[in-house]
């Protein structure tokens, strides 16, 4: 239960913030969110399952709401508050604006920091080794095949100089210029080589950053780092889940990111080649180890790696002789994810042999680490071996994950499995892939049932007016005590915007629809204002752009320059009093913030249906059909409905904004599913021809 003192703290903080904001207007929806978040995390709805799912549109002030609702409680209960986002833009907004403002004006004292993955930091030992002996260092990294260019070497020296002179903190994001991937891969921190117990790594930027975590009250992370911690059992990178309140912002991305995180892939020929390099490397590494514990591990590693190679060659021969019918994209998907018996048997043997190799290499790696800690081997001699063995350990882990899944039988979780044939000039290869179709169980077991509490929020979590689709995807369906909340927007939609659905001569499914768009679009554009036109495909956008430019229409097109440059050009034209026409695809319909005069006319060319062309999407549809469901109504329509809401959400960003939305897709009127989609859009004033 919320104590009176906590309620008082929240009220005072809210009032303090209100006093500092210009044109502040009390919002009943925001007050409601603050109260519901606080009650949920205090256990008023369920003693153990303290989770709420919130859909709150633009202008609701959800970041302020979750700070007010969650932070005072976290501090009182001595819990950490972890805020996870999907995009860098929101992280920057929280770290640079929202949290500093909240700390300065709320009257609540707390410490906060951005937590990044290990790979965003340099390893000082690797940086210095690369600068001093770059040719040697490069030859030891299996992923690097050519020397650094003069420009790359210059960059390396500049990084080292800046770090040594305390002009740079050692993380990739704070370096003003772009660091080439080839340079970064040489010097990036990794979990196997850069270990805190080794004296030479005590002061590495990553370990210094991790020490700060314990002193922080609020940690801002991304979804990938959250999943990386859960994969390690929770509490390894971040605080223990049971000691943490999580705010998952941009929560609609979480299921898809979890799915990608749980996937595995590996080639056949490419794997055989790096296994041969591993055999040569392990002998060199064994000669550097002093510890008696590693005696015999090199022989075990060699035996296991040779077994894996032989088995993979057998799989390669089987695939070359198979009668799999590959599609136009050179991909063959296993129906229902079921792998043939012959391949399942081979997969089990490969998984077992890979695990043996992994165990042996891990023991060698640990032994060399101990030798360095004990002073028996000098760090500068051991580091290159630890770096390279760490890369092989990562590859063996991925390989084991893939083949273990291919060997699985009678699994409760459906998987998509497929093979992509890869043709090169002088050889060919096979890429084998595995991806779970449903990941809700993973989030349920690893996060929802372990954490002290969680708040999931986004502007688009419902589909067709229901949370059902998201709750199933995220593992929250039928979980006891989960509170689902939809917060009203402060916008006066029917006074601020008009939604126009004109009559059209051509259906979006017609082959001539692209030509129709090229003819009709100029009618719906206002050359004196800021226009955004959203397309469902790059091809269709390109076709229309070509036709309109022949008519001398000036258009800014997504993909022709960076997103930042595109938006700067657009805003500059509006600032000069000229109009601007911006063309983009679905990726511009999310996270794009063009308030006020920067967007007054929005055109959506068609309902953004996704075509299930990827093996994962095909497998999802197949799984739903096998259960007697309709994939179009279960997946395609809800996803398109959410995307349409996101698209229309670009127009109104503030309570003073106004404008017009035109949707050139009559299926919103003529189809039953279209009418359901139309009803989920905000209540704009409607003009339906």
Render 441-489 in DSSP notation, one character per residue.
Answer: HHHIIIIITTSSEEEEEES---BTTBSHHHHHHTT-TT-TT-EEEEEPP
Instruction: Give the pLDDT score at 144.
Output: 40
3-state SS track over 393-412: HHHHHHHHHHHHHHHCCCCC
Give residue for tokens 């799912």: 53
> Residue 352: phi, psi to the nearest 5?
-65, -45
CB neighbour list of residue 46: distance below 8 Å, 6 or more residues apart: 480, 481, 482
Over residues 215-241, the mean pLDDT reads: 91
Over residues 582-596, the mean pLDDT reads: 87
pLDDT category at 202 given cuts 50, 70, 90 is low
Give, for 20, the enclosing helix (H) or strand (E): helix 4-20
CB neighbour list of residue 173: distance below 8 Å, 6 or more residues apart: 116, 120
Q: pTM of the entire structure?
A: 0.85
Q: Is 123 annotated as a binding residue?
A: yes
Task: Let me know: does 599 contact 533? Beta carbons within 8 Å.
Answer: no
Examine the pLDDT at 141 and tell me if it is beyond 70. no
List pLDDT tens digits, range 388-413: 888 899 899 999 999 999 998 766 77
Q: How far apart are CA 435 and CA 175, in angstroms?
A: 35
Highest mean pLDDT among 1-10, 138-147, 534-543 belongs to: 534-543
Examine the pLDDT at 619 and tell me if it is beyond 50. yes
Task: Let me know: does 531 contact 579? Beta carbons within 8 Å.
Answer: yes
Over residues 156-162, the mean pLDDT reads: 90
Give percent of the chain with pLDDT exceeding 90.
Answer: 57
Taken in order of first residue, the domains within the chain and their CATH numbers are 4-110+217-250+459-487 (3.40.50.300), 118-208 (no CATH), 264-438 (no CATH), 493-688 (3.40.50.300)
Task: Let me know: does 557 contact 541? Beta carbons within 8 Å.
Answer: yes
Nearest to 131 by CA among 161, 174, 175: 161
Q: Is 451 annotated as a binding residue?
A: no
Residue 667, helix vs strand vs coil: helix
Nearest to 237 by CA among 206, 261, 198, 258: 206
Instruction: Give the pLDDT score at 372.
Output: 85
**Cα angle for residues 109, 113, 117 (degrees, 5° grid):** 160
Give, for 43, the enclosing helix (H) or strand (E): none
pLDDT category at 20 given cuts 50, 70, 90 is confident
Instruction: Give the pLDDT score at 134.
Output: 43
Instruction: Give the pLDDT score at 292.
Output: 78
539 burial class (0-12, 13-18, 19+ CB within 10 angstroms)?
exposed
CB neighbour list of residue 344: distance below 8 Å, 6 or more residues apart: 406, 407, 409
pLDDT category at 291 given cuts 50, 70, 90 is confident
Examine the pLDDT at 618 and tell me if it is beyond 50. yes
List pLDDT tens digits, range 337-353: 999 998 999 999 999 99
Q: How far apart are CA 336 and CA 635, in angstroms?
A: 17
pLDDT category at 188 given cuts 50, 70, 90 is confident
- Tell me the angle at which helices 4-20 and 62-76 cross, rounded to the nearest 10 degrees: 140
Nearest to 340 by CA among 407, 294, 285: 407
Over residues 672-681, the mean pLDDT reads: 92
Instruction: Give the pLDDT score at 200.
Output: 60
Q: How much is the mean pLDDT over the chain?
A: 89
Over residues 557-564, the mean pLDDT reads: 88
Over residues 478-492, the mean pLDDT reads: 89
Nearest to 458 by CA among 621, 620, 223: 223
Instruction: Give the pLDDT score at 408.
Output: 87
Structure token digits, residue 450: 């372990």
Examine the pLDDT at 589 and tell me if it is beyond 90. no
Catalogue the E-assigned strands of 503-621: 530-534, 556-557, 580-584, 601-604
Over residues 492-506, the mean pLDDT reads: 93
Q: Is 435 annotated as a binding residue?
A: no
Task: Let me know: does 432 contact 380? Beta carbons within 8 Å.
Answer: no
Give percent of the chain with pLDDT exceeding 70.
Answer: 96
């Amino acid at each position: 239960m919320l104590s009176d003192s906590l309620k008082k703290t929240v009220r005072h903080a809210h009032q303090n913030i209100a006093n500092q904001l210009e044109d502040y207007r009390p919002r009943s929806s925001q007050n409601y969110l603050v109260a519901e978040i606080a009650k949920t995390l205090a256990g008023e709805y369920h003693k153990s399952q303290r989770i709420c799912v919130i859909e709150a549109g633009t202008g609701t002030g959800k970041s302020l709401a979750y700070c007010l609702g969650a932070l005072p409680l976290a501090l009182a209960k001595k819990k950490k508050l972890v805020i996870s986002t999907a995009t860098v833009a929101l992280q920057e907004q929280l770290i640079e604006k929202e949290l500093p403002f909240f700390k300065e004006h709320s009257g609540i004292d707390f410490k906060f920091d951005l937590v990044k993955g290990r790979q965003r930091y340099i390893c000082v030992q690797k940086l210095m080794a690369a600068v001093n002996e770059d040719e040697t260092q490069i030859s030891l990294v299996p992923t690097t095949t050519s020397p650094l260019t003069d420009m790359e070497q210059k960059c390396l020296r500049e990084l080292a100089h800046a770090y040594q002179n305390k002009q740079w903190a050692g993380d990739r994001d704070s370096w003003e210029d772009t660091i080439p991937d080839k340079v970064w891969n040489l010097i990036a921190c990794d979990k196997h080589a850069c270990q805190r117990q080794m004296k030479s790594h005590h002061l590495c930027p990553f370990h210094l950053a991790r020490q700060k975590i314990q002193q922080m009250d609020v940690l801002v992370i991304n979804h990938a780092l959250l999943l990386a911690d859960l994969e390690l059992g929770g509490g390894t990178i971040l605080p223990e889940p049971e000691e943490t309140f999580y705010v998952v912002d941009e929560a609609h991305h979480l299921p898809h990111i979890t799915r990608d995180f749980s996937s595995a892939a590996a080639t056949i020929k490419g794997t055989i080649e790096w296994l041969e390099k591993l055999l040569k490397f392990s002998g060199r590494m064994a000669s550097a180890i002093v510890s008696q514990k590693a005696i015999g591990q090199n022989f075990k590693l060699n035996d296991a790696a040779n077994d894996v190679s032989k088995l993979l060659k057998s799989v390669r021969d089987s695939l070359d002789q198979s009668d799999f019918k590959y599609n136009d994209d050179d991909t063959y998907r296993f129906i229902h994810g079921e792998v043939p018996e012959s391949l399942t048997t081979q997969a089990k043997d490969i998984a077992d042999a890979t695990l043996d190799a992994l165990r042996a290499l891990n023991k060698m790696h640990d032994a060399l680490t101990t030798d360095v800690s004990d002073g028996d081997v000098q760090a500068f001699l051991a580091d290159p071996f630890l770096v390279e063995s760490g890369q092989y350990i990562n590859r063996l882990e991925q390989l084991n994950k893939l083949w273990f899944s291919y060997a699985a039988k009678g699994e409760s979780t459906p998987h998509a499995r497929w093979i992509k044939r890869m043709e090169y000039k002088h050889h060919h290869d096979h890429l084998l892939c595995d991806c779970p179709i449903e990941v809700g169980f993973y989030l349920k077991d690893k996060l929802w049932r372990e954490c002290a509490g969680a708040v999931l929020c986004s502007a688009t979590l419902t589909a067709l007016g229901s949370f059902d689709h998201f709750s199933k995807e995220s593992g929250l369906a039928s979980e006891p005590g989960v509170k689902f909340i939809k917060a009203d927007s402060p916008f006066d939609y029917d006074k601020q915007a008009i939604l126009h659905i004109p009559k059209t001569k051509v259906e979006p499914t017609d082959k001539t629809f692209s030509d129709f768009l090229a003819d009709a679009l100029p009618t719906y554009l206002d050359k004196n204002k800021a226009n955004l036109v959203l397309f469902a495909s790059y091809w269709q956008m390109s076709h229309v752009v070509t036709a309109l430019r022949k008519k001398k229409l000036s258009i800014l097109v997504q993909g022709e320059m960076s997103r930042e440059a595109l938006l700067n050009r657009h805003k500059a034209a509006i600032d000069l009093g000229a109009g601007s026409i911006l063309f983009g695809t679905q990726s511009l319909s999310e996270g794009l913030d063009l308030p006020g005069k920067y967007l007054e006319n929005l055109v959506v060319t068609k309902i953004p249906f996704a075509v299930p062309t990827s093996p994962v999407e095909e497998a999802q549809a197949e799984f739903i059909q096998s259960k007697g469901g309709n994939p179009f109504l279960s997946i395609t329509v809800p996803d398109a409905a959410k995307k349409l809401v996101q698209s229309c959400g670009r127009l109104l960003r503030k309570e003073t904004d106004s404008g017009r939305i035109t949707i050139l897709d009559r299926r919103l009127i003529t189809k039953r599913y279209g009418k359901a989609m139309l009803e989920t859009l905000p209540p704009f004033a409607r003009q339906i021809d």
